[in-house]
Structure 1
């Protein structure tokens, strides 16, 4: 692999964590001794592949409750456009991410979830609104499986760890890919996958956010996340990419930062 593709794939593997190899009861039992997780959540920042993960979780009876979280954020327009192209008869205008995924889940797989959260705009209030929703419905939980876009999976888990440190968090990123040597494509097809340039921008935006530094989102910075340990090789990969692509580090969008942590 080239130096640049190796660096991209290293960031992708770090950010897009999966804590179990498959979405099965057997995998949960072997890793955590669980027959089910209490709650499984799909976050609306994901691409279409996230729906596949949620559908599989439901079919496998992986959780006691299923939730989709997402209002309107920086990924909403792309998600809305893709679903509209697949199902032109769906009236998607104005739908939140949670509503879009719920409609897609019902149309594609004939499945539905227990709860929708439709107001959040960023990772921070994705989590705080989720916790408020579960509390309002008197859903007690000790374990929660999170599915988010692979670029934002680790940050989502770190945000939940800040607000609910006692909860067992199980990560299952919506997809895992590798880019090719020339950064022109991926090793396999993924539903709704970002163009490589957008994937790179999203990944590069995560490392400064995850950093527990005065300018990062960790406890020593903005305080949005629990501490995240970033391995030296991941930091080195980020620096390599930053030298080659100095303009591709995604800044927080103030339009969606009302409750911080975009």
Structure 2
């Protein structure tokens, strides 16, 4: 049974990661410095106004990314498109969480977006309509865990460090395992085993103490990440590189002076 996006125990997490996030990251990378000249830019200005979002630039930029993502997935077979739509659902919720809009929830906002797409001849951007719902916080939390864990893989593979070396990485990893146990979802258990296997080379199993900066609130919004970078530049050993609103590349996140600890 593939439960609705609000049905925590029956929600199907399989297939959402890693393929859909990898696909999204490729689209985002392609248009990262070109969004002003993109055909969706003016449409996204219209969408921002229609949704009553006046924190304009950050949303418009990301709207260009996910609009191109929707264009790329429109030709995927109906039996396979679901996981890509669920990831779009997650991205849209991430954008709306900290913004005031005239619509309530991802489903209503997406319907308004579809109206703009259709009026401008982009008729296939509604292929995710049957899959986009209002994600509950438990499901969103898991998707956010998976998104972060996936985006740590590249820097981990390209360095000699483990996930334990990065406070947010190791905290997110154990938060994910804890959330999986609490949710009691069979499809999520399968995903959890995949994550464990992929992360096996990067997790130190010995007991150790990790410093966690309690005063930093992590968010998917660009503005919050810029603030995080400013906060950490003076204190962290390595510089954090923030490459986009949904894709994070970490040079390091270590601070021995912080006095909040979690024992693993």
Question: Would you call these one fold, judging by a TM-score over 0.5?
Answer: no
Higher strand share: 1
Whichever of the two has the greater Rg, that structure is: 2
TM-score by length of 1: 0.30
TM-score by length of 2: 0.30
